[in-house]
A and B are shown apart, each in its own frame.
Chain A
Amino acid sequence: MGKKVTFIILAAGLLMIAWGLWEGGFQQVNQIGSVICLECMGLGG
């Protein structure tokens, strides 16, 4: 039981990553992370 659950979740995670990469998730995260985020620094408001 425990093994099955673990492997189903692992497989789901891998599948989601593959789907996300196919949808352009890498570029999206790259765009988000490549800009200085003033909000993250507490300077946005």
Chain B
Amino acid sequence: MSKRLTTQLIAALVANPFLLNFFRGNIYQGNLKGICVPVLNCYSCPAAVGSCPLGALQNALAAPFTRIPFYVGGFMILVGAVAGRWICGWLCPFGLIQDLLGRLSKIKKKLPYGVTRAKYLVLALLVVLPIIWVNEAGFGAPYFCQYLCPQGTLSAGLPLLASNYASLSPLIGVIFWIKLFILGIILLGSVFIYRPFCRTLCPLGAFYGLFNKISLFRLHYDKSNCKNCKRCSRICPVDLNLPQESNSAECIRCLKCRDNCPSGSLTWKTEFKSSLPKSSPENT
């Protein structure tokens, strides 16, 4: 098992340790829910220990006379400034699910040009809509969670519905079926396209991507060592033109490029001098 897959599995378990709650049909409601997790992980997932930053942000913005949600916003900025989209590549449970589904087929399609920009629109709407689309009492709603988030449908909606079917089934309406359809499309798409949700719709990925170029940990390209073999570009699962786009906002920092670089031109290190050693084929 690769180091990345192991990290993803551990991270998914750390964010969702209360697995027995899936059978109990309830969620964890202790004090740890006050802590945000850095990934897309619905707080209504029965096993979740912390809160999804996107859900918390939207709910905070949706309250009337809300103050700026400094805690959640600061947390997201801090995480982005430390690691950028490394979080997507190594920690996100929904990214892990898409990765695992991607293993089912070797056929991989490229995304149409420009479609990856949709996630910035989703991010903008996520922040703006809960403030401007309000009811008579001045309350907005977490519209991203309500109408789009496939992670919430998969990890919260379906398990809680299954374990509380008698009480929750009357609430099933059009929105539920729309969300289920979106989830189905994304899961099916993950088999043939590498991480379709992360690349096209995820607002958290869009936000972290803004920090990729300036994050504390990032890829460094040493042009003097590069043999211009383009192996990095060929192996990149998100179809980046490497090594030039090594810190693109689209990069989820799986680090396959670094691990497969024969000359060690790409390194993953901090702004400080200490460099994390590569594991290039020549050195192993």
Contact = CB atoms under 8 A, between A and B. Distances in A.
Interface of A: 2-3, 5-6, 9-10, 12-21, 23, 25-30, 32-34, 36-45
A26 B34 contact: yes
Given A13-B81, A38-B171, A41-B152, 19 more contacts: A6-B214, A6-B215, A6-B271, A9-B211, A10-B78, A16-B74, A19-B74, A25-B69, A29-B33, A29-B35, A29-B36, A29-B56, A29-B71, A30-B33, A34-B29, A39-B141, A42-B157, A43-B157, A44-B141
Q: What secondary structure prevails in chain B residues at the interface with A?
A: helix
A42 B71 contact: no
Contact of A43 (B74, B77, B171): B171
Q: What secondary structure prevails in chain A residues at the interface with B?
A: helix
Nearest to A25: B71
B71 A16 contact: yes
B67 interface: yes
Given A2-B271, A6-B215, A21-B71, A33 B43 contact: yes
Chain B interface residue number, banded: 35 or more
Nearest to B160: A41
B260 to A, nearest CB: 26
A9 B81 contact: yes
Nearest to A32: B59
A32 B69 CA distance: 13
Interface in B150-206: 152-153, 156-157, 160-161, 168, 171-176, 178-180
Contacts of A42: 146, 152-153, 157, 175-176, 178-180
A29 B171 contact: no
Nearest to B66: A28
Nearest to B56: A29
A44 B69 contact: no
Contacts of B152: 37, 40-42
B18 interface: no
Given A26-B34, A32-B59, A40-B156, A10 B51 contact: no
A43 B168 contact: yes
A36 B52 CA distance: 13
B70 A19 contact: yes
Contact of B56 (A3, A21, A33, A44): A33
Given A39-B145, A42-B180, A29 B153 contact: no
B161 A33 contact: no
A25 B68 CA distance: 10
B69 A13 contact: no
12 contacts: A9-B211, A16-B71, A17-B70, A17-B75, A25-B70, A29-B35, A33-B52, A37-B42, A40-B42, A40-B43, A40-B156, A40-B157
